[in-house]
Structure formats: C-alpha cells, structure tokens
Chains A and B, each alone.
Chain A
Amino acid sequence: MILTTQHYDKARAAIAARGFDPEVQTRISLFLGAAKSVNAAILGAVELQPQIGIAYPFVHGQYFREVEFAALLARVTRWSPNWATYAYGGRLTAPLWTLWWRIQLPPGPALDARAAYSALALGHALLARVRTAPLIPDNANEMDPFVAALRRIEQESGRMIQAQIRLLKDGASPLPLDEREQIIEAKQEAVDEAFRSFLEWLAGDAR
C-alpha cells in the first residue's frame, strides 16, 4: 500500500487529541531510534570500503550524527511504563533490522557490489522516507525538548541524505542502471511498508 497524506493526517490527529504523552513519545522514539540505529550500523560497515573514496568524511560524519540522534531521542523521550508498547514497537522495527541483516549475509557489502549498493539504498530510504516532522500537530509546543528533537532530526536528515544521493547516482558501481533503480525501489517499498505500519500504530488503527 502506498504511503499517503491520509496516513500522516490520521496519526497527527491522534497525537493532537492526546498530546505528546509518554505513550506517543515512546512509540515515535522506538521507530525513529531504530531507523537512526540501522542507518548508523550501515554507515559503520560501509565507511571503510575503498569505493567510498572522497565521500568518506560525509559518511563518517553521518555515522556520528545518527548515533547522536539515537542518543538524543533516548534522552528527551518520556518513556512509557507500558511493556506492551516495547513489545509491539519491536515487532514494527524488526523489518528495518532484517533488511540490514539480509544485506550482510555472505559475501556482504565488503565483497559484493550488489550488497554494497543495497546498503546505501537502504540508508537512503531510511533518511528519505522516515519523516516525523509532519506528525507534529499545529498546536504543539515547539520548545518542548521532544518536539525540538524531532524538528532537528528531520532537518538534518534532509541535509545528510546528500551523501547517499551522490554515492547512489555518481559512485562507481558495476551494476546496470535498471538493477540499481530496482534495488533502490525495493528498499523504499520495504521502508514505506514498515513506516506505514508505524503511522497506523500512532493513529490507533493498530494495537
């Protein structure tokens, strides 16, 4: 199913109705934190590959920024005492980790061009498609640390993605164009699917 404006609208309306209470903050932090952690894991694995070349400082910098954001979320979130939230959140974020684990199967990104390209494509999809700023209701307190963190993370994701864009478009890869586009599209669809489930969870359409 395509991710639509309605998915965002329903989730935002649900947040507006209850505010950024610990349950909402926990749900968002579980998913967004997982997206940042998966991308950090990817960056840590690919940054030393020779084909990264001149992009190394950008990839390396992005790795630390993603770790910083995962830590920021952990710090600003008012965590829910509801254990079921963590259990369900783990179920929703498992597909993101699984995508990365599959890429690492031997021969893995260091030895296989397709796996290396898939890793960058997954990082691109995580930065491009996991967007939480549109979930912030109009009446939200912009000085709230959690809201401020979401804004900051969103803006920085928009900047950082330039590393993935340039590497995917201009980086050396032996893969033909069609295959590269297919890899990117598949990763976007997979991330969209997980993100849609997350938005439905926020909207109350899921458990």
Chain B
Amino acid sequence: MAFATINGHRIRYELHGDAGRPLVSFINGLTQNADLWTAYGARLADSGYRVLAYDMLGQGQSAKPVLGIELAEHADILAGLLAHLQAGRTHLAGISFGGVVALDFAIRHGERLAGLAVMSSFAELSPQLELLGNVMYEGLTQVGLPYLQSMLYPMNMSSAWLAANRARIPTMMRSGYIGNDLYALQNLMESFIDFKPLTPRLKEIRGPVLLMNGEHDFFTPRECHELLRRELPNCRLTLVQHAYHAFTIELPDITLRQLHEFFRTVDDGTWVGDGSVWVASDRADAEPHAFPCPGDHMRALPLPARRRPA
C-alpha cells in the first residue's frame, strides 16, 4: 500500500509487477476500492504486466473531501498519479462509475492511453439509469449506507452467486461499510448532478476500446453499451454470458481472460476495432476466448437478428 499527494489530495494506490512492463490501470466502481483488483493484479503481473489499482477520491483510504468532488477531478487525478509514477502510456479498465471516469480520461488525456476497457458503464444517463440513480441516492441519504449496500448486492449479482455467498454477505457488507463513508459516497453520486453526456465527444477516442456488458445487466443495460458501440470509432462489444452488473467480482477468471486478450492484441498490433459484437466464452480457458454474437444482441428474446447499422 502506498500513498501519493495528487492535486492536493492523498491517494492510496497499489502496484503489482515490475517497472518497465506494459502498464494496466484499473478504476473502481462506486462502492469499491483498490483491493478488489488484487487478484487481477497478481495474475496480470504473472503475465508480464505492471498493474496499478487505486482508491478514487472519496473511496477507501484516499482523501474524502466533504464539500464535493467534480466528476472531472477523477480523470485528472489518474493523470496526476500516472505522472507521479513516471508512467508512460497505460491500458485502462474501468467498471460502472469507473467506466465513466475511464471514458472521460480517454477524451481528455487520450495521449496517455494504450487500450481502453469499459465495463458495465455508460456515456450518458438514460431515463432508466437516471431514475435508478435517484432511487439509490434517496436510499443512501434517507435510509443509510447499509440500505444502499443491501440494494446493490441483488442488483449487481446473480441468484447463483448470492446463494453461494449468502453466508459471507454480512461480513462483506460490514467490510464495505467500514471502508466507505456515507458522505463520501453521497459526494460521488452528487458529482452526477451536473453530468454532461460524454456522447458528443466519444468520437475523439481514437484508440482501441473493448466494451463489456453482462448478459443480464439491468442497471447499465445493453442500450448503454450500444450507444458506446455506435459512437466509438475503434471498438468491439463483448457480452459476458450469465453475468449481471458486477461481473468483475462474480466472474473474475472470464473477465480477466477477455481483458488479457484485449491488451495482448492491442500490444501486438492485431486488434480489430470494427464495431462487431462478440460473446465471451463461458469458460476462462476455452478456445477461442470469444465468438461472434450469432443473434440480435439488443434483444433478450431469442429472435432472429435483423439488420441494424454497424
């Protein structure tokens, strides 16, 4: 565990792997912290990467300003942290809230980016997402942090995972409760009050982008990722089978395999960002790691595909 002062704020970060290797940086979701990437860091370090994970401003052991955080501060702090570490370009992977930060970083600090993986995320608030966000905010402020945590588990995870981990959930919730502060999470959520859609600037992201969306994610559903797929000029969309919103936690091996293949193809120059839609194999060791989506990726019903713009 290390700390750096970036733009006047104390930021906690972790590095895995030796200096000089290609860098992969992870950005957390709203209620997460850097520790959730520990296994990813160890595995990617074994594969020859250097991995950076950090607590965002307002999370974990990083500073938690009470008077508010601008959304743009997060991408600027990542840029500052990379400069502090004297890192060159980085692959960047962000989930949910962290995916928005990653997109913002790609737009405003694109020269530092090798490849971008955006998971369970969005570029603008659809009415459904906005209203769900309002409910989450209300729950946090009117009932409390444990209520928000209780709400997020069934929203983000499958029934199978919940059944298998039921006994552990109270301990996990308690750990999350201790590591988070209500006012800090509230600030992160309030930073969306003046959120300007990133959509008009997505075409500025010229580098490779892997979009990943859980098959059953109803928090940031397909339409959020479809908008990204259509606007980003050098991307692919991969659907993660059986997954909900938080597949980085529920299906780490499969997620890691997809990310690893993405970073590898970007690094060896074989990446093809043709806007195509793929399905991740449901075994981490399967060959190939993904296959072209055979149906209409916008439908939940198994109806035949119809033509839609590439």
Contact = CB atoms under 8 A, between A and B. Distances in A.
A165 B186 contact: yes
A180 B65 CA distance: 10
B171 A138 contact: yes
Nearest to B190: A169
B76 interface: no
Interface stretch (A19-27, A62-70, A108-116, A155-163): A155-163
A5 interface: yes
A8 interface: yes
B142 interface: yes
Contact of B144 (A2, A134, A159): A159
Interface string A120-159: 0100100011010110001000000000000000010011
Interface string B95-119: 0000000000000000000000000
Q: Is the interface of A mostly helix, strand, loop or mixed?
A: helix
B67 A5 contact: no
Given A128-B183, A168-B66, A184-B66, A155 B144 contact: yes
Contacts, number: 52
Contact of B67 (A8, A133, A138, A177): A177
B143 A169 contact: no
Contacts of A155: 143-144, 146
A134 B178 contact: yes
A68 to B, nearest CB: 18
A165 B67 CA distance: 8
A181 interface: yes
B88 interface: no
A185 to B, nearest CB: 8
Contacts of A124: 66, 183
The size class of the interface chain A forms with chain B is 20 to 34
B181 A128 contact: yes
Q: Is the interface of B mostly helix, strand, loop or mixed?
A: helix
A181 B182 contact: no
Contacts of A181: 65-67
A40 B245 CA distance: 42
Contacts of B143: 155, 158-159
B154 interface: no
Contacts of A162: 141
Interface residues of B, number: 22
A177 B65 CA distance: 11
Interface in A44-86: none
A5 B182 contact: no
B170 A138 contact: yes
Contacts of A159: 141-144
Contacts of B181: 128-129
Contact of A134 (B141, B177, B182): B177
Interface string B139-172: 0011111100000000000000000000000110
B68 interface: yes
A165 B263 CA distance: 42
Given A2-B61, A169-B66, A184-B66, A161 B183 contact: yes
Nearest to A178: B8
A8 B178 contact: yes
A121 B66 CA distance: 10
A133 B177 contact: yes
Interface in B7-57: none
Given A124-B183, A165-B183, A5 B68 contact: no
Nearest to A156: B144
Given A134-B177, A155-B144, 12 more contacts: A121-B66, A128-B182, A128-B183, A131-B178, A133-B146, A158-B143, A159-B143, A165-B183, A165-B186, A169-B67, A181-B65, A184-B66
7 contacts: A5-B179, A128-B182, A129-B181, A134-B177, A138-B171, A165-B66, A184-B67
